[in-house]
Amino acid sequence: MGRASSRRICGLRTGLAALSLILAAPAAAVAADMPEFLRGSYSPTYSRWDGFYAGGHFGGSAMSNNFGNATSDEVAFILRNSTLEDQFAPSNWSVLGQSSTNSLHYGGFAGYNWQWDQLVLGIDLGYTRMSSMANSASETLARVVTTTDHIQHDVTITAQSSIKLLDYAAVRGRAAYAFGQFLPYAALGFAVGRFNYSNAVTVSDVQTDVTTPPGTPLGTFLDAASDARDNTFQMGFVGGLGMDMQLMPNLFLRAEWELVDFWKVGGILTTVNSGRVGIGARF
């Protein structure tokens, strides 16, 4: 009986061991198929972006112009040393309003990235050429004012202004974060644009002595002035958001939005919003 009992116990142990192996095999297979982060051994992967890069881009731009004081200098010149300008400053009257236009564009970019793990910092140089980005405004403003010398001035200002953005170049600093094959980034810097502009204004001043009703006409003052320049350069601030997507170790796609706010050109304020796509190579 002792020997038979021992044999049964040994057989039971052998059966349990075999059963454990059978049950452990699929469990090990399932564990091997589990994602790395569930097995506790996951480490994030990301592409390398350091080094020089260059590429080309194309897209569309919208230009907004504020012509409000475009002809201020011309009006100030016409009314210089006058009581009317000293007391009522017609040169500061906003004759013209705002206007917008749009254009296709194309260009290129180049830069250099420094990378620390997933943090990427770099400097970026870009050039954008407009297909046809021109805008204009025209308006007439009339006001009646009386100066302290009892002269009534019936003033009419007729103004025309136009501007054309030919192209611009920008230098930007970039800060980015590598995420897999994607590189979202923000950019900030300065731009220099090349413009053609033209301003023209006519000022009419019908003067009346109001000391004795109904007033004595004194005559009409009429004069005109203009200013036009081509290839005028002006600076501005530039900012943007975008994303690079790596196609191959040394080839990537780019999608970007960019805003450029230029300082006054011929008294005209210019803001340009651009959306573009591009392709680049890393060296």
Q: How confident is the prediction along the chain (283 residues), in pLDDT tens digits per residue?
A: 455 455 555 554 554 454 454 445 444 444 445 444 344 444 557 899 999 999 999 999 999 999 998 999 999 999 999 999 999 999 999 999 999 999 999 999 999 999 999 999 999 999 999 999 999 999 999 999 999 999 999 999 999 999 999 999 999 999 999 999 999 999 999 999 999 999 999 999 999 999 988 889 999 999 999 999 999 999 999 999 999 999 999 999 999 999 999 999 999 999 999 999 999 999 9
Contact 203, 79 (CB under 8 A): yes
